Homo-oligomer: A and B are copies of this chain.
Amino acid sequence: MDVVYPPGLSPAALDRALKAFGRVVGPDAVFATEEDRQDYSDKFAIDDAAHQPLGGVAPASAAEVQAIVRVANEHRVPIWPISRGKNLGYGATAPRLSGTVVVDMSRMKKIEVDVENGTALLEPGVGFYDLYDHLQANKIPLWLSVPGNSWGSVIGNALDRGVGYTPYGENTTKLCGMEVVLPDGDIVRTGMGALAGSPTWQLYRYGFGPAWDQMFVQSNFGIVTKAGMWLMPEPEQVRGLDVEVDRIEDLAPLIDAIGALRREGVLQQSPTIGNWLRAANIVSTRQEWTDKKGALSDDVITAIRKKFGLGWWGVSLRLYGRESVTNATFPILEQAMRALKPLSMKPTLWRRGDPIPPTQGGWMGVPMTFPMQNANWYGGRGGHIGFSPILPQSGKLALEQFRRAYARYQEFGMDPQTSFAFGERHLINVNAVLLDKDDPAFMKRVDPFLRALIADAKAHGYGEYRTHLNYMDAVAGTYDFNDHALRRLNEKVKNALDPAGILAPGKSGIWPAAYAKERGK
């Protein structure tokens, strides 16, 4: 593939910049061959030509990140930081603007755990497996809250507002204190970390005055070189119920029942209701069921559900804590679920010291990767791409949203992997749109399908919490109150902090003045 340069940058200028990066990190940590560019591209892209990285540079320290940022300013080279680049379905390692150099933080893997206080100070290269191994090796009784695919960075997940399965599941809410390299190369510590030598950096997130952590989340205002995360003390017991409900419309009462328990605090975990395909596509592939293209027929769906004993929807609810307390709470959960007359209801129990069954690891802080099997649903070159609007915890509204989306899935001949992840007061309707990259006709339908979903959601007041590079401008465009006042605010701050516009231009639809013409391209 031809090398794509960023707007306004000549090959010669770029060459000088790469050499300067090499002087910072050593030539072995600059990656700019054709193969390197392939490595940093998005394997799940709809359009392989879009979002082409120019190469990568991998710093080993915050000081090197500062130097990289200064080089980028001097040479006017756009850079795109990634933690470990496992933001699959949302762009992974690839940058928004073709020609951008990826700043690959995966070499920065320092871990400091404060056992007593249940916190960790992590560099962005630390993956869930790294941290899990560290906790195991040191017999530290703290648990992670892992996402469905745990290859990625702990910090990176929190910085993209990813979710895990335990009561600490909304990882972004467990961030506490950051070290950030700003676009001008300055380095700042947020919260109590701004007080040099403070023992409370990972304990209190706000510090004095405005608090900045969430400003560095999903943004292009700085490169996070360290962040604090809270970890859950290992509970005495985990009791739960795996519940399946039969019909599409059973989604509504299921959401209403769980939402009420969640808001009340009876349930403190963030459970996810998933449909039959979310369960089936990690243990089977499409050709086992049909060789017909287009939407799956109800007969096929019924056969799949029958084979695996699945409802249209299933959910795993878990209670964490002391034995006596979870035992007292369990009947409340059980009664609420029994009242729904579910298809099936299976209790689970784990006590401290019990081995953790592999299929249960996700609820007990054990990293996993098997859900990634879904990318093989069509066989061949697969993938998935996210569509994830935020909804109220209303069964009625969520069912309506699903029915609208399902009609679109059928109209465009797509198979619906969909789920509803509970926060304390919201739902994230995560759709992993499964790709068949070997079928060009199919792939042509994906973009109009996703744009239809975004427009349908917007028409009902719903916006996405996270999106693929392809849709960042479209989604940012739906946040339009007062003629896009939020965008004006974002870009005013962007231009103040990053006058040359070198840091991740276009991320989350935020374009610096220097690249303003690239919006929407």
- Judged by a CB distance under 8 angstroms, whether A381 is at the interface is no
CB-CB under 8 A for A200 and B324, given A187-B485, A425-B118: no
Q: Which of A1-9, A19-27, A34-42, A210-218 contacts B (4 or more CB under 8 A)?
A: A210-218
What are 11 A-B interface contacts by the 8 Å CB criterion? A167-B265, A187-B485, A189-B482, A200-B391, A208-B218, A208-B476, A210-B218, A211-B217, A230-B425, A233-B263, A493-B496
Q: Are B463 and A199 in contact (CB under 8 A)?
A: no
Which A residues lie at the B interface, using CB under 8 A?
Answer: 116-119, 161, 167, 172, 176, 182, 186-190, 192-200, 202-204, 206-219, 221, 230, 233, 263-266, 268, 320-322, 324-325, 327-329, 331-332, 390-394, 397, 423-426, 458, 461-467, 475-476, 478-482, 485-486, 488-490, 492-493, 495-497, 508-510
Q: Are B266 and A325 in contact (CB under 8 A)?
A: yes
How far does the alpha carbon of A493 sit from the alpha carbon of B219 in the complex, in Å?
Answer: 15
How far does the alpha carbon of A458 sit from the alpha carbon of B188 in the complex, in Å?
Answer: 18
Question: A325 contacts which of B189, B332, B467, B485 (Cβ < 8 Å)?
Answer: B332
Q: Are A206 and B485 in contact (CB under 8 A)?
A: no
How far does the alpha carbon of A316 sit from the alpha carbon of B116 in the complex, in Å?
Answer: 24
Instruction: Name which of A221, A327, A479 has the most chain B CB atoms within 10 A of its CB.
Output: A479
| CB of A166, distance to nearest CB on chain B (Å) | 11
Q: Which residues of B contact A485 (CB under 8 A)?
A: 186-189, 194
| CB of A485, distance to nearest CB on chain B (Å) | 4
Residue of B nearest to A263 (CB): B118
Q: Are A195 and B479 in contact (CB under 8 A)?
A: yes
Residue of B nearest to A180 (CB): B489
Give 11 A-B pairs besides A199-B392, A208-B475 with Cβ atoms closer than 8 angstroms: A117-B393, A188-B488, A199-B397, A200-B461, A200-B463, A204-B425, A207-B463, A208-B508, A210-B214, A230-B425, A324-B328
| CB of A443, distance to nearest CB on chain B (Å) | 26
How far does the alpha carbon of A205 sit from the alpha carbon of B424 in the complex, in Å?
Answer: 11
How far does the alpha carbon of A479 sit from the alpha carbon of B475 in the complex, in Å?
Answer: 37
Q: Are B206 and A465 in contact (CB under 8 A)?
A: yes
| CB of A38, distance to nearest CB on chain B (Å) | 29
| CB of A262, distance to nearest CB on chain B (Å) | 11
How far does the alpha carbon of A18 sit from the alpha carbon of B190 in the complex, in Å?
Answer: 39
**How many copies of this chain are found per oligomer?**
2
Question: A392 contacts which of B117, B182, B332, B423 (Cβ < 8 Å)?
Answer: B117
Q: Are B198 and A476 in contact (CB under 8 A)?
A: no
Q: Are A479 and B208 in contact (CB under 8 A)?
A: yes
CB-CB under 8 A for A198 and B467, given A209-B508, A214-B206, A476-B208: no
Q: Which residues of B contact A266 (CB under 8 A)?
A: 321-322, 325
Q: Are A194 and B265 in contact (CB under 8 A)?
A: no
Q: Are A117 and B263 in contact (CB under 8 A)?
A: yes
Q: Which residues of B contact A393 (CB under 8 A)?
A: 117, 203
Question: A195 contacts which of B195, B198, B216, B458 (Cβ < 8 Å)?
Answer: B458
CB-CB under 8 A for A264 and B206, given A193-B481, A194-B481: no
Residue of B nearest to A423 (CB): B204
Q: Are A211 and B208 in contact (CB under 8 A)?
A: no
| CB of A20, distance to nearest CB on chain B (Å) | 24
Q: Which residues of B contact A465 (CB under 8 A)?
A: 204, 206-208
Residue of B nearest to A209 (CB): B508
Residue of B nearest to A198 (CB): B461
Residue of B nearest to A182 (CB): B489
Q: Are B186 and A481 in contact (CB under 8 A)?
A: no
| CB of A494, distance to nearest CB on chain B (Å) | 9
How far does the alpha carbon of A509 sit from the alpha carbon of B197 in the complex, in Å?
Answer: 20
Q: Which residues of B contact A478 (CB under 8 A)?
A: 195
Q: Are B210 and A461 in contact (CB under 8 A)?
A: no
| CB of A203, distance to nearest CB on chain B (Å) | 4
How far does the alpha carbon of A493 sit from the alpha carbon of B212 in the complex, in Å?
Answer: 11
Residue of B nearest to A116 (CB): B394
Q: Which residues of B contact A461 (CB under 8 A)?
A: 195-200
Q: Which residues of B contact A467 (CB under 8 A)?
A: 208
Residue of B nearest to A228 (CB): B425
